[in-house]
Structure 1
Amino acid sequence: MTIGSKKFVLFLMGPTASGKTELAIEISKTIDSKLISVDSALIYKGMDIGTAKPDKKTLKEFPHELIDICEPEDSFSVNDFIDLATSQIELAFKEGKLPILVGGTSFYFNALEHGISNLPASTDKSRKHFNELLKKQGSEKLHKRLKEIDPKSAERIHPNDSQRITRALEVHDLSGEILSSLQGQKNHKKLNAQIKKIILMPKRSELHERIEERFIDMLKNGFLDEVETLRNNKKLNLDLASMRCVGYRQVWNYFDGKYNKKEMIEKAIVATRQLCKRQSTWLKNEKEGLLLSHSDIKRAVNFLQSHDA
């Protein structure tokens, strides 16, 4: 089944462990679609188990674009994502398919919908400087510093979100401008297409249970071996975006002897739940679209086929 001549893009959003991938696949079985991943962790090769990447059999039957597109040591920016995602969306339209953008990286979705600011690019020197500051002072101290410089950004960024805190400080250091001011000038690379949204939002208790069960399954399926292989890559360290992904940092620290196995499991589950909370908070601001508490293929397809959705 096709949607018809009216071209639009589907944003299928939800917090981690909400079942987004499964719903996207079910929709693609009914509507001729191109699946495009919107996930800042699934881009990395060799990071399969800890990112809950769809398995090889699933990806062969239901290909996802923008999965396994770079090495864990490579840098990958929101600009890179927008360029690649836009190309895939245009290709889907040419093929008469519905582009389904599915994932949990709110920053990517937001940038596609609203455009991005012309922020200064990171340099090796600045990245190293702020990563060293993070090691010495920790994210909470740096968050307090950000609060003094840029209260609006500090209010929006969680004190544990070290990646976004250091980036906000780096932007100020490189440009002399605060991040919240520069982000107010968004118009660059905005997606030129109608967007429909489906937000999959199970109850928090259900998500917490799934997160715990999923992490235990990851360990049973060889997650420790996966991280050990990554640690053997001399190009990798905990300062890289790839190794900041939830689960990977905690297991890496476990191998470094910072935690015992029980502590590692607890910390990884807590970190994933914190990610889930941040994603859920962002999604609560999404007022338009279809909100589902569970995967409901019938309601999803009816919503996509309706002209006034």
Structure 2
Amino acid sequence: MTGRRRAVLIAGPTASGKSALALEIAQAENGVIVNSDSMQVYDTLRVVTARPGDDDLAQADHRLYGTVPASMRFSTGQWLAAAQAIVDPTPEERPLIFVGGTGLYFDALLNGFAEIPQVPEAVTLEVQQEIQALDAGQRLALLQREDPATAERLKVVDPQRLTRALAVKRATGRLLSDFQDEEQVGVLGGFDVERMVLDPDRQVLRERIARRFEAMFDGGAVEEVAALRALELDPSLPVMKAIGVREIGGWLDGALDREEAIALATIATQQYAKRQRTWFRNRFGDWPRRGPASS
């Protein structure tokens, strides 16, 4: 034992059993579970985003779950600041267990994140309207003109990344790449850090995803999506892009039957899990892999 504080980082694709493992560790060690998933931070969609239920919440200290209004855009930098606010006052004898599927959150936790000023919503919306008709080649050309360094770093200039880069430049007068090039540090420098990526068999994961979304559909997801739609939020908000919102919305509108909605959401979730696994393999290739976790 080194006497240093302990942090456990549990990453992995959706439905791999991360929350169950985090709860097991938290109960054994009186740990604090910190959400590291970009969708589970939002309220309204507890079932759709697979946030821990009331029973799990009662068994251990959970933080940053459902704390952000659906009407907000919650950036990686904001999450890191919220995580820092948990790290500092938590007693040293309590381990912190960061669990989730958002790789950028873990990267920021370990390596820091560029401190970029908050961009006004109006600026973001103006840029979104400006670029909405651009194809992939036009997006790349525009970013090459506006911020060549950022364009060079991105493999794909999708609308979200282009919006971010242009909005930062127009709101601050500085390039996004300038902020990113500033020295950054993580928040776990004083910790013994245990890292792991949960990596179940591909077919096992696909079957889990299929079972889970069907259970979600019958377990409150429909009511959550109806409540979300009643808020009449901007369709570009992150919470409106959560897997299941569009598919269940199609069922509510009568455009899809139950089986079609479940099938489409299951396929979308499986595709998302594949992208997550690719990200973790490319970026966290040196993290120890762990087999199937209970779910």
Which position in structure 1 is the counterpart of 2:6? Answer: 8
How far did 1:57 drift? 1.4
Deviations 1:123-168 (CA, angstroms, capped at 9, x unpaired): 222221244356x4388577655775644443167x5xx5445324
Q: 1:276 aligns with which of 270, 273, 277?
A: 273
How far did 1:255 drift? 4.0
The change in CA–CA distance for 1:197 and 1:243 in structure 2 (over 3 A counts) is same
Q: 1:84 aligns with which of 82, 85, 94?
A: 82
Aligned to 1:40, the other structure's residue is in SS state coil
The change in CA–CA distance for 1:68 and 1:204 in structure 2 (over 3 A counts) is same
Q: 2:103 aligns with which of 98, 106, 110?
A: 106
The change in CA–CA distance for 1:267 and 1:185 in structure 2 (over 3 A counts) is farther
Once the two structures are superposed, the pairs formed by residues 113-152 of structure 1 within 5 Å of their partners are 113-133=110-130, 136-137=132-133, 144=140, 148=144, 150-152=150-152
Distance in 1 between the 2:104 and 2:115 partners? 15
Which position in structure 2 is the counterpart of 1:66? Answer: 64
Residue 216 of structure 1 aligns with an amino acid whose one-letter code is: E
The change in CA–CA distance for 1:119 and 1:267 in structure 2 (over 3 A counts) is farther
Count how many residue pairs are aligned between Structure 1 and Structure 2.
288
Residue 241 of structure 2 aligns with an amino acid whose one-letter code is: R
Q: 1:75 aligns with which of 73, 76, 80?
A: 73
Residue 91 of structure 1 aligns with an amino acid whose one-letter code is: P
Which position in structure 2 is the counterpart of 1:290? Answer: 288
Q: 1:34 aligns with which of 20, 32, 42?
A: 32
Distance in 1 between the 2:185 and 2:135 partners? 30
Which position in structure 2 is the counterpart of 1:44? Answer: 42
Distance in 2 between the 1:148 and 1:210 partners? 42
How far did 1:189 drift? 5.9
Once the two structures are superposed, the pairs formed by residues 228-243 of structure 1 within 5 Å of their partners are 228-234=226-232, 236-243=233-240
Gaps of 5+ in 2: none
Which position in structure 2 is the counterpart of 1:154? Answer: 154
How far did 1:67 drift? 1.0
Aligned to 2:49, the other structure's residue is in SS state coil
How far did 1:177 drift? 6.1
Q: What TM-score do the two structures reach when normalised by structure 1?
A: 0.80
**Root-mean-square deviation (CA), in Å?**
3.0
Contact residue 19 and residue 295 of structure 1 kept, 8 A: yes
Contact residue 116 and residue 190 of structure 1 kept, 8 A: no
How far did 1:52 drift? 0.7
